[in-house]
Amino acid sequence: MANLTLPELNGKAVLITGASTGIGAALAKAFGAQGAMVGVHYNSSEDAARAVANAVEAAGGKAHLVRADASKSGAIAAAVEETAAAFGRLDGLINNAGGMVARLPYAEMTDDHYDAVMDLNGRSVLAATRAALPHMKTAGGGFVINTTSIAARNGASGGAGLYGSSKAFIANVTRGMAKEFIPFGIRVNAVAPGVIETPFHERYSTEAQLKAQLATVPQGRLGVAEDCVGAYLFLACASLSGYIIGQTIEVNGGMLMP
């Protein structure tokens, strides 16, 4: 991936939510390496986000740090506006912020847990994309890439069911937005990572749970954040994926083959 050159991303302004760690951090660095201007969004991990921003600029891109609680519509919309103002334009949005909040079986679910999960994984995508739309229209087009999950298709397990359902919601939002936005030259697609070794699983999964999931991966290993980067770069480039809209690319080592 280090030697890949995609000239059409050079100078493009892209906001990546949840960019301080994991997949988001890998994406920020990858877009920076293509000469993009990258909005590095974070909420609580300021030091990690600052390190990512430094890496973006070291790779040849430009970075703008922006903090917001993604689960709050007003806050994430303001992050979009701040990024567009910092770069003078906005060409792409990667809705990557999300989380499980906690492992909780459906039988024990509370309204507060439902609100926390759906606001973080669902409302954030709707609010950020709504705020980004006028800027992309002004730019004459652009792209939105949503991060969903293998859990959106397999129902998840071990108390992750609501998380999986929130990601299934985003998979369908992706299709609906794709239909609505393509008349403006804005392509909307999604990427569904499988089990990727990131701080997400350090927080929510035990070693035993990860071993059990590894046994179901034909490729024989769990993924790493860098395994996901190519799918996002592909979907960001109209020259490569200009006739692809409303699709979800599964990145899971063969764990699920829909």
Q: Which residues are catalytic?
A: 163
Question: Are 32 and 38 contacting, i.e. CB atoms less than 8 angstroms apart?
Answer: yes
Which one, of 42, 51, 1, lies nearest residue 233 by Cα?
Answer: 1
CB neighbours of residue 160 within 10 Å? 22
| HSE-CB of 211 using CA atoms within 13 angstroms | 3
Q: What is the CA angle 122-125-129, rounded to 5? A: 150
CA distance linking residue 73 with residue 95, whole number of Å? 13
DSSP percent split of the chain into helix, strand, coil, nearest 5: 50, 15, 35
Bridge partners for 223 per DSSP: 196
CA distance linking residue 188 with residue 182, whole number of Å? 8
Cβ neighbours for 157, distance < 8 A, ≥ 6 positions apart: none
